[in-house]
Amino acid sequence: MTAAEVGLEVTDGVAVITLDAPGRRNALTLDMARELGEVVARVDADPRVRAAVVRGNGGHFCAGAHRALLDDVAQDPADPRRYADLGVVYDSFYRLGRLGVPVIAAVRGAAVGAGVNLLLAADVRVVAERARILAGFGAIGLHPGGGHLLLAAAALGRSGAAALTLLGQELDGPAALRTGLAWACVADDEVDAHALALAAAAPADPELSRRITASFRRSIGPSAVEWEQAMEAERASQMWSLRRRAQR
């Protein structure tokens, strides 16, 4: 049995979800993505929880999907098993984004590719001054996936999303704050505490917090239908780009 790579602690109604594979900068393997989805489901099912924080251990947030997973999918993207494997990665941040309580991302170090999707899935982002936020899909020959374009536009607007996704621009903490991607930019060693303080400000009554969050998700979006459509719209092109990269 493999060691757990996603930690969960619940204190005073705040769930802290920790990506814990620092040796690879918390890059998502298939097992880790599946575990993340399961942990999020546990949080959603816990009536004590009124807010959640997602963070990375070891100085980085998430370096995206692990290269070995992408290379495996690239061998035959139409293969049902490989197609489903990539869907597990999509599902991990989709579940986070549909969690029934407010979600705060505590972002230190690198957030790349699917790691950017993970922070975009959160409702609020606290970013370290020295964070490095880079979509990075095009730089490695990949089309974005997981509804990335929709999530980026929701957070950054059309121009900001274009800079991030079409032109491969990198954001540090101050730039993330300036563009509206981040709610707060603080020193690296203050990120977790600031995110926890925000989570603690959620209504003390978990049921009230969940009802407000449900109304927020219905009213503000992206709706579940929009996100699912965006994932499917991007998926075929991402599969094509994976296969194309493998053939070079």
Q: Residue 99 — φ and ψ, nearest 5°? A: -60, 145
- Asked if residue 89 belongs to a domain, the reply is yes
| Predicted local distance difference test score (pLDDT) of residue 1 | 40
Query: ω into residue 77 within 30 of 0, thus cis?
Result: no
The pLDDT profile of the chain, 248 residues, written as one tens digit per residue, is 457 999 999 999 999 999 999 999 999 999 999 999 999 999 999 999 999 999 999 999 999 999 899 888 888 887 889 889 989 999 999 999 999 999 999 999 999 999 999 999 999 999 999 999 999 999 999 999 999 999 999 999 999 999 999 999 999 999 999 999 999 999 999 999 999 999 999 999 999 999 999 999 999 988 888 999 999 999 989 989 988 888 87
| Predicted local distance difference test score (pLDDT) of residue 10 | 98
Rg (CA), the chain: 17
β-strand partners of 132: 110
Strand order from edge to edge, sheet including 51-56: 6-11, 14-19, 51-56, 103-107, 124-128, 184-186
pTM above 0.85, yes or no: yes
What is the total count of domains within the chain? 1
- Asked if residue 199 belongs to a domain, the reply is no
- Asked if residue 236 belongs to a domain, the reply is yes
- Asked if residue 210 belongs to a domain, the reply is yes
Chain centroid to CA 244: 26
How do 51-56 and 14-19 pair as beta strands?
A: parallel
Distance CA 22, CA 7 (A): 13
| Predicted local distance difference test score (pLDDT) of residue 75 | 86
Q: How many CA atoms lie within 13 A of 69 on its CB side?
A: 21
- Asked if residue 200 belongs to a domain, the reply is no
How do 14-19 and 6-11 pair as beta strands?
A: antiparallel
| Predicted local distance difference test score (pLDDT) of residue 2 | 58
- Asked if residue 130 belongs to a domain, the reply is yes
Q: Output DSSP code: residue 49.
A: -
3-state secondary structure 142-187: CCCCCCHHHHHHHHHHHHHHHHHHHCCCCECHHHHHHHCCCCEEEC
| Predicted local distance difference test score (pLDDT) of residue 83 | 86
Residue 57, domain extent: 6-191+205-247
Q: Residue 177 — φ and ψ, nearest 5°? A: -70, -45
- Asked if residue 196 belongs to a domain, the reply is no
Q: In degrees, to the nearest 5, what angle opens at C-alpha 68 toward C-alphas 66 and 72?
A: 125
Q: Write out the two tokens for 177.
A: 């704050």
| Predicted local distance difference test score (pLDDT) of residue 243 | 86
3-state secondary structure of 7: strand
3-state secondary structure of 8: strand
Distance CA 55, CA 78 (A): 33
Question: What CATH number has the domain bearing residue 138?
Answer: 3.90.226.10
